[in-house]
Amino acid sequence: MDNVFSNNVKNLEISGIRKFFNKVTKVQGAVSLTLGQPDFPVPENIKNAMISAIHQNKTEYTANAGIPELRQEISNFLSGMDINYLLDEIVVTVGGSEALMCAFAAFLNPGDKVLVASPAYPAYESCVKLFGGEVVNYNLNSDFTIDFENLSKLINEENPKLLVVSYPSNPTGATLSQEERDKLFQLLKEKDIYIISDEIYSSLCYENYYSLAQIHELRDRVVLVSGFSKMFSMTGLRIGYLCASKYIMDNIMKVHQYNVSCAASISQWGAYAGLRWSMNDVNNMKIEFEKRKEYVYKRLSEMGMDVTLPKGAFYIFPSISKFSMSSEEFCNRLLYEGKVAVVPGSAFGAGGEGFIRISYSYSLEVLKEGLDRMEKWINDLNKTEPV
């Protein structure tokens, strides 16, 4: 029976993040710090724009690339970060997820190699496998910056077609510094490699923003993937976008068109209103996330965890190596004994082993309760199993 399915699909794993989230729902009274979903309501302007779009019957197919009004706003928004794409270099997608899928579909032939950091967001590896590509993992340093020696070696030895970079990072919370961006440019400028840059957390960067899409000489080889799930706290409305130079876009559009025709019209009008009138809300959410980041970092440090201060997104990725358990065992025990759910680092690839991912997209009250329980569980553990 199993051989009716595509080998590429059979070889895919269900996301480790979802697997763990599903476990939590079965543990009564457990606090979940697993999901990457902001807990804020959708900004009022977005809600109102969607309601009035329904009343105005804006419910037909839009252009495949999305409504020009939204693409223009995306273009303006990006130019504020020194990233310049014209209207026909932007396609509105069904979340960043569809943008990623379209990008990999457009580039990959079976056997093509793709450089992906380890740890990284799990969808990259799954998309690559779906199209018969081969993932080659590059290493990160202990502070989650790129191990350039390793990356440079892999570029020279493996002949990769694509490089995936993602900043601010899920799961590590690292951002791209100016120095790293420029070093990447030096490494890539003479090479025939295309870059998929997932910047879905760009609005949640607690420092200056740097992107490979800012570099003029690389721009024609960069595919920028982003979206509004996190920025406007509208995960279920499924709006993302992809930017690329025209000759890449022509191929990506073929996939997008046959995949979805267009993103949902009502949600597109919502995102348009968000960019026009809700940037204040985005800023307020960022201020709140920053408070939560400081709180979670302080609490984990006080527990004696070995932890790097995140610079973006809403994840923190402490090391658990001193507990002599795999990340899966640590998270299972923390869930069943301590009643708190966090995601095992191994869900983000081999490089995530020895870490756990805590999402701070939850309220301070929920974070406090989760961290109190975690602290108690670790203290009890230290009494019975000294680390």
**Residue number with CB closer to ligand PMP (169 or 214):** 169
Contacting residue, 45, 137, 170, 214, with ligand PMP by CB under 6 A: 170
Contacting residue, 130, 200, 237, 273, with ligand PMP by CB under 6 A: 200
| DSSP assigned state of 60 | S
Question: Taking CB under 6 A as the rule, does residue 122 contact ligand PMP?
Answer: no
Question: Taking CB under 6 A as the rule, does residue 166 contact ligand PMP?
Answer: yes
Write down the least CB distance from residue 240 to ligand PMP, Å: 4
Among 73-81, 94-102, 184-192, 249-257, the segment contacting ligand PMP (CB under 6 A): 94-102
Contacting residue, 66, 227, 270, 318, with ligand PMP by CB under 6 A: 227
Contacting residue, 16, 95, 338, 345, with ligand PMP by CB under 6 A: 95
285: left (phi over 0), alpha (psi -120 to 50) or beta: alpha
* 163 contacts 218 by C-beta, under 8 angstroms: no
| DSSP assigned state of 140 | B
Write down the least CB distance from residue 79 to ligand PMP, Å: 21
Contacting residue, 77, 85, 121, 167, with ligand PMP by CB under 6 A: 121
R_g (Cα) of the chain, nearest Å: 21
Among 93-101, 141-149, 355-363, 379-387, the segment contacting ligand PMP (CB under 6 A): 93-101
Write down the least CB distance from residue 130 to ligand PMP, Å: 15
Write down the least CB distance from residue 166 to ligand PMP, Å: 5
Q: What are the distances in angstroms from CA 383 to CA 323, 332, 379?
A: 13, 19, 6
Write down the least CB distance from residue 95 to ligand PMP, Å: 3
Question: Taking CB under 6 A as the rule, does residue 229 contact ligand PMP?
Answer: yes
CA quadruple 366, 369, 370, 375: dihedral sign: positive
Write down the least CB distance from residue 375 to ligand PMP, Å: 27
* 216 contacts 245 by C-beta, under 8 angstroms: no
Contacting residue, 16, 36, 119, 274, with ligand PMP by CB under 6 A: 36
Cβ-closest position to ligand PMP: 95
Q: Residue 377 burial (CB < 10 Å; 0-12/13-18/19+)?
A: middle
Which three-class secondary structure string do you get for 255-311?
A: HHHHHHCCCCHHHHHHHHHHHHHCHHHHHHHHHHHHHHHHHHHHHHHHCCCECCCCC
Question: Taking CB under 6 A as the rule, does residue 66 contact ligand PMP?
Answer: no
Contacting residue, 16, 38, 66, 96, with ligand PMP by CB under 6 A: 96
Write down the least CB distance from residue 270 to ligand PMP, Å: 14
Q: What are the distances in angstroms from CA 351 to CA 122, 135, 212, 301, 354?
A: 12, 13, 23, 22, 8
Strands laid side by side in the 240-243 sheet? 90-93, 240-243, 222-227, 194-198, 162-166, 113-118, 134-139
* 357 contacts 119 by C-beta, under 8 angstroms: no
What is residue 362's three-state secondary structure? coil
* Binding interface with ligand PMP (CB under 6 A): 36, 95-97, 121, 166, 170, 198, 200, 227, 229, 235, 240
